[in-house]
Amino acid sequence: MEGLICARINQICPNSLKKNPFGSPVLSPCLARRVSVIHFGTMSNLKSFTRVATSTQPLETTTIGRFDNTLPSKEVLDVWKNASAVCFDVDSTVCVDEGIDELAEFCGAGKAVAEWTARAMGGSVPFEEALAARLSLFKPSLSQVQDFLEKRPPRLSPGIDQLVNNLKLNNKDVYLISGGFRQMINPVASILGIPLENIFANQLLFGDSGEFLGFDVNEPTSRSGGKAVAVQIIRKTHGYKSLVMIGDGATDLEARKPGGADLFVCYGGVQLREAVAANADWLNCNSLSSLLAWRASFGSGRDVVPLLLKITGSLWKRHLQSLHCIAIYSNQSTSKK
């Protein structure tokens, strides 16, 4: 997989996994030969990456209209503008796919695994139960994972690269927090220029012959409530005054709790999970780059509507036309359009 990934195999004992301040496993010296953790690092030459930003199907205005949180309040915009860090879910947020579903489909078990994913993301079953059940259905080998990564490059959601670049230019730290696997998320982080140490995700475990052994249960994201724990670790470690979580699933919504995220933005541009969307501080069903318009307008007195129309096109135009008025907030006054 020239230019895509490189793999290093470390032999470890399951009991030799220790936790560092970031909640990631630290390997202690061990002579055990039973378990291997595959670390995927990025190559310096990323030219062979295929940057794929696919278009998602726009939601109908009637669908969006069922929710009353598609237009952010002044308080929400204040947090969004002044956040010190932004954490992103990966599957169906940063990327248009559910990584485990794609891997399962590649290995011949796509339909059964996708059904479990829908239940897990909707919050109807504990995440750890769903994760174990899905992996047990196809038990991917190391060679299958490597073949998948070579043939199925990451497919980014529209606007995510512009959003991440803007956040970094404004000195906002960016993290990826996912119930997916590091082996599949490291390439995504490299495309977006996100440090690998800013990833909280699960780790597939393989044996000496590359056979599937399971996943590292010590990762906080391997269980329900794990993303909240990851956010709390990030916040405590770096002392961020405010932090935003952006995602589509129930596990992302869980991060919005005391000591965790101050704001949860539900991204419904790929999958709209109604129970999650209804409880979000802010629902965005457009290109992720549309969030930039709200950052640019708030506090500057500029009208956000032309910016939104320029960025997101006809979907926002149809949505705005269905409203009697929109309150556009600035730091001085509230005007109606």
What residues are annotated to the active site? Answer: 89, 91
Show the tokens assigned to 104. Answer: 């399962």
HEC states along 244-272? EEEECCHHHHCCCCCCCCCEEEEECCCCC
- Residues ≥6 apart with Cβ < 8 Å to 109: 137, 138
Torsion, Cα of 98, 102, 103, 106 (10° steps): 170
Please give the backbone phi and psi of residue 11, each rounded to the nearest 5 degrees, phi first: -80, 130
Residues paired with 139 in a beta bridge = none
Show the tokens assigned to 156. Answer: 């980014």
For residues 300 and 298, what is the distance between their CA atoms, to the nearest angstrom?
6
Longest dimension (CA), the chain: 69
DSSP conformational letter for 15: G
Query: On the CB side of 17, how many CA atoms lie within 13 Å of its CA?
Result: 15
For residues 332 and 265, what is the distance between their CA atoms, to the nearest angstrom?
25
Torsion, Cα of 274, 277, 278, 282 (10° steps): -160
179: nearest Cα among 215, 137, 142: 215
